Structure 1
Amino acid sequence: MEIGRYNTLRIVGKNADGLSLSDGNSEVLLPFGEVPKNVQVGDNLEVFVYASKSGDLMATAQDAFAEVGDFAYLTAVDSGENGAFLDLGIGKDVYVPVREQKRPMHKGEGYVVYLHLDGDRRLMASSRLDRFIEEEDFDFEEGDEVSLLISEKTDLGYNAIINNRYIGLLYHNELFAHLLPGDQRKGWIKKIRIGNKIDLSLQPMGYGHILETKDVILKALREAGGKIPLGDKSSPEDIYERFQISKSAFKKAIGGLYKERNISIGDEEIRIIFPD
């Protein structure tokens, strides 16, 4: 039975407190207040298993925000001299000792943490993410699409957890969107540098992305009646707000459309030449 994770268990009995669930080797209690409707002995249930303060295994049918082995953004529901408790979405909060806090945690604030088990198999969390990041054997290459969890703001940009395993950097001067720790984004591997440092982008790499962007811009022009108030001298922020791409990608795309004689380009406007 995996503590701090979802388990599919069989209902093997009932007592005064709830249902007994088993994986064939050990049993865990699912309190009556958590029991779904219309279940009976012999049925299988997917439940989240955790150890109570006394060390007894418990199960819950509530949806946990994260499992052991996950990086997640959780909110502190209490904090004190020795540590903080974060809301996991179930009846059991997850504890973060002071020694595992990269910065002091305060009630009501959110933090990106890593969930793990301590030596007594109790669910714990840590905001010292570098201890749990993998730094080699990447499961991606430059140009690959990845999932990102924004973890913290730095002088250079924003650190982001990649595919729940690695860490990379989004540079300030390449961002035109407002980011916050806890944001989940689709991203791309821009470059893997010496020392396995990873540069990230919120936009796809390569010419294929430009071809796709050209189609998007043409469609937008047709839907807007043939003209859009964006051109050569438009700000990167205005371009990103409209198309979620960088100014460089926008200029490459409209340059291609101009060469194909599909549009005309002005300082603050583009117009379609063949609207039909």
Structure 2
Amino acid sequence: MIRIGRYNDLPVLSQLPRGLQLDGGRYGEILLPKQYLTGDEQVGDVLRVFIYCDSEDRLIATTETPKVQVGEFAYLNVVDESRHGCFLDWGLPKDLFVPFSEQKQTLQKGRQALVRVYLDDSNRIAASARIDRFLQDTDDSCQFKQGEEVTIVAADKSDLGLKVIVNGTHWGLIYTTDLFEPLKRGETRQAYIKRVREDQKLEISLRPLGFAKVEGLAAEVLQKLKDEKGFIAISDKSSPEAIKRVFKCSKNAYKQAIGNLYKQKLIKIEKDGIHLV
């Protein structure tokens, strides 16, 4: 089954002067234009290609890499406007269309927009800036567990911190006190479920939880000591601001990390800072 707007592995049926004809199953033959060929392709080869629609809404294959696929979120540049909507640069020759009905506020050329790519009722690829309708605010199925690693996309700031998209299905929140490093809107990275609240809303942490967090941070402190010739002028008495500036963590996490190193007799904790043993 062909997945429009995603990568597919398709066999080569025939070679033509304009490119290769690929087996698109019930969609028929799909052209891979010759500008994407290396010259080594043969009939019977299976090629990994991205399938989308050309300017005449015909399915076409490409070996180019789009910035986003159907079902995914991305922060894209608005490159043109029309009376029906606007167009985004998603890395392919035909720009990505956002209908007016899928805009929370009018998107303007030269700006950026956080969107989700989807297939409309006619199997045409489009994007929506109304991302709330693709996400759940709570996890009724309890599919997430505390400490679980997830993929997040940075979305919008709130009074409490930063709203993020979790695994492309749910909203989550990183509290301001847990934002130890800046995240740009649309940035994708790995994070962790800090807590599934009683109302099933998700709290997110940028660092692993529990001992794994302490262990990872302890390694960072140890490496910093080695880089600084065995001494750092930051102890368990230092201000939270100083600790956050250097290690991008809370004072409590830092104290746990150096406590771990102290128990292993790797460091000495003095008034002026910590020393490598």
How much does 1:140 deviate? 2.9
Q: Which runs of 5+ in 2 are unaligned?
A: none
Query: Aligned pair count?
Result: 272
TM-score normalised to structure 2 length: 0.87
**Aligned CA-pair RMSD:** 2.4
In the alignment, the residues of structure 2 paired with residue 13 and residue 218 of structure 1 have an alpha-carbon distance, to the nearest angstrom, of 60
8 Å Cα contact 1:145-1:188 kept in structure 2 = yes
Aligned sequence identity (%): 39
Matched, 1:65 2:67: yes
In the alignment, what sits opposite 2:183? 179
Q: Distance in 1 between matches of 2:249 and 2:177?
A: 13
> Which range moves more in the overlay, 145-154 or 221-230?
221-230
Distance in 2 separating the partners of 1:209 and 1:138: 24
- In the superposition, relative to structure 1, how do residues 59 and 264 fare at CA in structure 2: closer, same or farther (>3 Å)? same
- Kept in 2, the 8 Å contact 1:75–1:110? The answer is yes
The 2-side partners of 1:107 and 1:236 are apart by: 43
The alpha-carbon deviation at position 116 of structure 1 amounts to: 0.5
Per-residue Cα deviation, 1:137-179 (whole angstroms, up to 9, x for no partner) = 3543011122211012222211111122222011123223222
What do the CA deviations read for 1:4-37 (whole angstroms, capped 9, x no partner)? 1111111212335322111344211122222233
- Residue equivalent to 2:268: 263
Cα distance between partner residues in 2 of 1:236 and 1:127: 38
**1:150-229 to 2 correspondences below 5 Å:** 150-229=154-233
Aligned to 1:92: 94
Q: CA deviation at 1:240?
A: 3.5
AA at the equivalent of 2:234: L
Return the match for 1:132 from 116, 131, 134. 134
**Which amino acid letter does the alignment assign opposite residue 8 of structure 2?**
N
Distance 1:172 1:47, change over 3 A: same
Distance in structure 2 (CA, Å) of the matches to 1:18 and 1:255: 64
Deviations 1:157-216 (Å, cap 9, x if unpaired)?
A: 111111222220111232232222012222111111133211111122113422443343
Contact 2:234 2:274 in 1 (8 A): no
Matched residue type, 2:151: S
Give runs of aligned pairs for residues 7-26 of structure 1, distance below 5 A. 7-25=8-26, 26=28
Corresponding residue number in structure 2 for 1:48? 50
Asked if the contact 1:177–1:240 (Cα under 8 Å) also holds between the matched residues in 2, the reply is no
Q: Decide whether the 8 Å contact of 2:236 with 2:254 is kept in 1.
A: no
Match of 1:145 in 2: 149
Task: Quote how far apart the aligned CAs of 1:271 are.
Answer: 2.3
Distance of 2:127 and 2:200 partners within structure 1: 26
